[in-house]
Amino acid sequence: MLLPHHGRYAYRPIGERPRYEWPEGKRLAFFIGVNIEHFAFGAGLTHSLSVPLPAPDQRAFAWTDYGNRIGIWRIFDMLDKLGLPASHNINTTLFEYAPQILERIKARGDEVIAHGRTNAERHGGMWERDEKRFIEEVRDEIAQHWGRAPTGWMAPWMSVSKVTPDLLQEAGFKYVMDWPGDDQPVWMKTRAGRIMSVPYPFELNDSPAMLVRHQSPDEFTRAVIDQFDEMLEQSETEPLVASLALHAMVVGQPYRLRALRKALEYIANHPRRQHVWFTRPGDIYDYCAGLPAGILPDPD
């Protein structure tokens, strides 16, 4: 009996796919995805450390705003010292609220990934016409402020509708990061073509790890190191993507940042780093899209 299915891609186990390599023969692609988010004061969804307070819940707002006022700047400094590139899933309302953040991203040469207008809202429940307008508005805002249109999309809360991949492909997006179901890029079917799913972690993600599963900073650091080492070993037989998801208001807290730095120092100075492609999701898309036909399996 076949259960209801999304119809976006077919089942293909990891050992039955064509082999390929990353640039310069590297085996493991590694990227850091930093979520830089903005919330409405006293309205919409919020991100909280504890039981939400009655509106306006200034405590939750101020905690999330810490990420934009303090946390992201500490993260930038850490990445600079370690020489690590990053991608940034950023809400477009931050362009007016905190324009200095985008300027630092530009100066670093990092990638901007569309992450909605604000994390006070999400795709789920939108009418298709409203979602289409929402996606196009975000695309155009990034193009205006960053200087070029984004190619990647990461939905607020990883929440999508049944037609989100279709609307994104039609709006010119090339890849999504909302489907944490693989360790390799996967082509997904849309009603007007295809769009790529680039692996992005739901597990190795500071927010659910430390706020939901209550991992300590040291436990999260150990998880980052173990994930990296295990995937580096696994990548000897097939190319893989290892990614790390961070949130400015979560890991930007000093005691968490101190623990995370240990993990990133370990990765940046790994004895087998010559086998690692330190990269960004857009570069992964560009490389995979240029592979010969059939290397990345078709979605049918």
pLDDT at 264: 99
Beta carbons of 96 and 118 less than 8 angstroms apart: no
pLDDT at 45: 67
Q: Residue 43 pLDDT more than 90?
A: no
pTM: 0.96
Lowest mean per-residue pLDDT among 23-37, 54-68, 72-86: 54-68
Beta carbons of 60 and 47 less than 8 angstroms apart: yes
Q: C-alpha angle with apex 227: 252 to 158, nearest 5 degrees?
A: 60
pLDDT at 263: 98
The stretch 262-284 carries a mean pLDDT of 99
- Name every residue whose Cβ is closer than 8 Å to that of residue 207 and which is 6 or more positions away in sequence: 35, 47, 245, 247, 250
Q: Compute how many other C-beta atoms are within 10 angstroms of the C-beta atom of residue 201.
A: 19
Residue with tokens 């208001």: 249
Q: Name the nearest CA neighbour of 93 among 84, 101, 83.
A: 101
Convert the pLDDT of each residue in 184-198 to its tens digit: 999 999 999 999 999
What domains appear along the chain, each with residue ranges and CATH number? 20-39+56-289 (3.20.20.370)
pLDDT at 39: 85
The stretch 61-89 carries a mean pLDDT of 98
What is d(CA 31, CA 234) in angstroms, rounded to the nearest whole number?
Answer: 17
